[in-house]
Amino acid sequence: MLLSLFVFLILLGTQLLRIPPNKSNSKIFTKAFDRRIEQLLEHFSIPGLAISVVQDDEVLARGYGVSDIETSQAVTEHTLFFGGSTTKAFTAAAASLLVDDNHQYPSIQWTTPVHSIIPDDFVMIEPWYTAHVTVADILSHRSGLPRHDWLLLTNLTQQEIVQKIRYLPLTAEIRTKFQYSNLMYITAAHMIESVSGQSLPSFLTERIWGPLNMSETYLSLADAQRAGRNISQGYYLGTDRKLLSTQRVSMRNSRGAGNILSSVADYAKWISTLLRRAPPLSEAAYRALFGAHSFASKEPVVPFVSPTLYGMGWVVQTYRGETVIQHAGSQYGFGSLVVLLPKRKLGVVIMGNNMRGANAAADIIAFDIIDDLLDIPKDERFDWRRRADERLAADTLTTDTFRELYPVLPDPPLLYPLNLSAYEGTFVHAAYPNLTLSSDCSETAGGIVYENGTGAKLCASLVEPGDYFPKPLSLEMYHVSGTSWVLVTTIAGAMSAARVEFRYDADGRKVSHMGAEVESSMARTGEKVWWARV
Nearest to 272 by CA among 213, 229, 353, 185: 213
Q: How far is Cα 321 from Cα 148, in angstroms, rounded to an integer?
A: 36
The tens digit of pLDDT for each residue in 502-517 reads: 999 988 889 999 999 9
pLDDT band, residue 19 (cuts 50/70/90)? very low
pLDDT greater than 80 at residue 5? no
- Please report, as a single letter, which amino acid is at residue 118: I
Residue 16: pLDDT over 90: no
As a dihedral over the C-alpha atoms of residue 434, residue 156, residue 261, residue 278, rounded to 10 degrees, the angle is -120
What does the radius of gyration of the chain's CA atoms come to, in whole angstroms? 24
Confidence of residue 463 (pLDDT cuts 50, 70, 90): confident
Are 195 and 114 in contact, with CB atoms under 8 Å apart?
Answer: no
Give percent of the chain with pLDDT exceeding 90: 76
Cβ-based neighbours of 215, under 8 Å, separated by 6 or more: 209, 266
Domain with CATH 3.40.710.10 in the chain: 2-81+263-394
Quick check: 86 and 338 in contact, CB under 8 A? Answer: yes
Alpha carbons 21 and 510: distance in angstroms, whole number: 76
CATH topology of domain 2-81+263-394: Beta-lactamase (3.40.710)
Report the pLDDT value the prediction gives residue 447, as an integer from 0 to 100: 57
Strand-pairing partners, residue 326, are: 315, 339
CA-wise closest residue to 86 among 297, 249, 264: 264
443 vs 92: which has the higher pLDDT: 92
Cα separation, 525 vs 527, in Å, equals: 6
How many whole angstroms separate alpha carbon 251 and alpha carbon 523? 26
**Do 255 and 162 touch, CB atoms closer than 8 A?**
no
| Residue of 190, 218, 222 whose CA lies nearest to 94 | 190
C-alpha 413/C-alpha 410 separation (Å) is 5
Query: What end-to-end distance do the CA atoms of the chain give, in Å?
Result: 50
Res 292: pLDDT: 95
Mean pLDDT, the chain, integer: 90
pLDDT per residue as tens digits for the range 105-154: 999 999 999 999 999 999 999 999 999 999 999 999 999 999 999 999 88
Supply the pLDDT for residue 468.
58
Question: Which helix or strand (DSSP H or E) is residue 384 part of?
Answer: helix 384-394
DSSP states of 318-376 = EETTEEEEEEEEEETTEEEEEEEEGGGTEEEEEEESBHHHHHHHHHHHHHHHHHHHTT-
Which of 53, 52, 50, 51 lies closest to 73 in space, CA to CA? 50
Q: Decide if pLDDT at 289 tops 60.
A: yes
Mean pLDDT along residues 5-17: 29
The reported pTM is 0.91
Residues 294/108, Cβ–Cβ less than 8 Å: no
For 191-200, what is the mean pLDDT? 97
Of 120, 25, 124, nearest in space to 369 by CA: 25
CA quadruple 480, 485, 491, 494: dihedral sign? negative
In this prediction, residue 471 has a pLDDT band, given cuts at 50, 70 and 90, of low
- C-alpha dist (Å) from residue 323 to 257, 326, 341, 348, 474: 24, 10, 6, 14, 41
Out of 52-56, 282-286, 441-445, give the one with best mean pLDDT. Answer: 282-286
Q: Is 406 exposed, middle or buried (0-12, 13-18, 19+ CB in 10 A)?
A: middle
CA distance 4 to 532: 51
Does pLDDT of 26 surpass 60?
no
| Lowest mean pLDDT segment, chosen from 386-395, 423-432, 450-459 | 450-459
Q: CA 530, CA 508: separation in Å to the nearest integer?
A: 18
d(CA 23, CA 358): 28
9 has a pLDDT exceeding 70: no
- 48-61 tens-digit pLDDT: 999 999 998 899 99
On the question of pLDDT at 441 being above 90, the answer is: no
- The pLDDT, as a whole number, for residue 492 is 79
In a 13 Å sphere around the CA of 404, the CA atoms on its Cβ side amount to: 10
**Nearest partner of 93 among 312, 252, 266, judged by Cα:** 312
Cis preceding linkage at 472, omega within 30: yes
CA 195 → CA 30, 39, 107, 169, 487, distances in Å? 49, 48, 11, 27, 41
Assess contact for 23 and 58: CB atoms under 8 A.
yes
